Structure 1
């Protein structure tokens, strides 16, 4: 199956199939298992720990998700793994733990989170973690420097640009990234349509997914202008 076909084949659960952090929290093994059970693809976020281990976690700071002070870049993988997410029994997983759980059962879209001064090895470490993983997986980032590294270090994997913005400057910057062999784009749903997305879909036949879709109206808007949703907080209706 081509990257384009699997990437757009089923809705993508944003940070796993969580319940807006009421009982089942984002980017946890519980949220990923729920997505698997629902036959949804999974989007997740990855940062590096202080000892260069890819950890599945969204924020730079720890407070919102763990109640602790500090940053992920200031903690080792062991220290991060000892933290509980919210008031749950879930710990902060490594990327390898998440991959072992998913085991190719649903597609994965992994966003690499930029952190100035702390992400020099992020692409390389993520690609290492994925070595030998046989399920459908793609990598993407907002950070252009990381996307450029992906083209060099992960030529065998689908690579995407996560993007937003409608200004001339933003659109021109996105166009400049087409020189780095993108496989897909993930764009803010509220900023469609726009010239960049129209060009990549109609002229390049490149798949476009959207973020973050929180209701059926936004899902419908996606399918009028793009190819698949990254959703949270509701159960999408799909044809």
Structure 2
């Protein structure tokens, strides 16, 4: 693993920020990100492209689960989205720029681009994210399930590490993952439930860092630390009982 990628595995990564499973502090909000910064966790977040081509931090394609209002998030401008309450809290849907201003390099950011199917639908998405990140001082990594977005980021000359978000335990899925690696992928975010497997084993032998998603219990954490390098977690405080610390104490 190169020095520039060491931040990916240095500490647990808070999935959509350090929220409380959407009770009072909701996912992908500035409150969840502030809590992660205070705790010293890296932040994972999701980015969509608003109707005015501004990257906003939001996971779902439809707004209903998080705002109570039906409709495609991409059909609203960033200003319109910024007026919508997330989970009926004081938090509104933030832009990527707002997250960058809040984080200011205090903890690493792992930003997942949420693409769409259809020719030309994601045109300009990768470039808009890179434009927002221009001049940002702090550790950042970009990742996506969508190979076309990874290609766009690479073509646009991304100075940030690129990651493949993936899952699967079948040979045909590994073949597609191998195709993505040819883009020039720096790290992988993989579903812990599909570990171990031959694809991930091969990539780790090549010193490609692997983080897992989404760890919610001790079993998932144990799988992570056996077959990967770090976890993306939610729903608990990973500082409470890190199995690696007890192993070190007993060594």
**TM bucket, shorter chain:** over 0.9
Give TM-score, length-normalised by structure 1.
0.97
| Structure 2 counterpart SS, 1:180 | coil
Equivalent positions of 1:223-234 (< 5 A) are 223-234=225-236
For the pair shown, the structure with the greater C-alpha radius of gyration is: 2
1:173 alignment partner in structure 2: 176
Distance 2:71 2:138 in 1: 34
1:68 alignment partner in structure 2: 69
| Structure 2 counterpart SS, 1:97 | helix
Given that residues 4 and 206 in structure 1 are in contact (C-alpha distance below 8 angstroms), is that contact kept between their aligned partners in structure 2? Answer: no
1:134 alignment partner in structure 2: 137
- What CA deviation, in whole Å up to 9, does each residue of 1:101-159 have, x standing for no partner? 00000000000001235422111000000000010000000001111112222441100
Of 147-156 and 67-76, the range deviating more from structure 2: 147-156
| Structure 1 counterpart SS, 2:175 | helix
Equivalent positions of 1:91-130 (< 5 A) are 91-117=92-118, 118-130=121-133
Distance 2:47 2:162 in 1: 15
| 2:201 paired residue among 198, 203, 208 | 198
TM-aligned CA deviation for residue 217 of structure 1: 1.7
Of 39-48 and 168-177, the range deviating more from structure 2: 168-177
2:188 alignment partner in structure 1: 185
1:43 alignment partner in structure 2: 44
TM-aligned CA deviation for residue 4 of structure 1: 2.3
Given that residues 130 and 158 in structure 2 are in contact (C-alpha distance below 8 angstroms), is that contact kept between their aligned partners in structure 1? Answer: no
| Structure 1 counterpart SS, 2:182 | helix
Distance 1:167 1:133 in 2: 39
Distance 1:137 1:155 in 2: 11
TM-aligned CA deviation for residue 177 of structure 1: 1.3
Equivalent pairs counted in the alignment come to 238
**1:219 lines up with 2:216 in the alignment:** no
Cα RMSD (Å): 1.1
Give TM-score, length-normalised by structure 2.
0.93
Distance 2:30 2:223 in 1: 30
Given that residues 167 and 191 in structure 2 are in contact (C-alpha distance below 8 angstroms), is that contact kept between their aligned partners in structure 1? Answer: yes
Residue segments in structure 1 that go unaligned for 5+ positions in a row = none
Given that residues 85 and 91 in structure 1 are in contact (C-alpha distance below 8 angstroms), is that contact kept between their aligned partners in structure 2? Answer: yes
1:81 alignment partner in structure 2: 82
**1:24 lines up with 2:17 in the alignment:** no
| Structure 1 counterpart SS, 2:141 | strand
| Structure 1 counterpart SS, 2:79 | helix
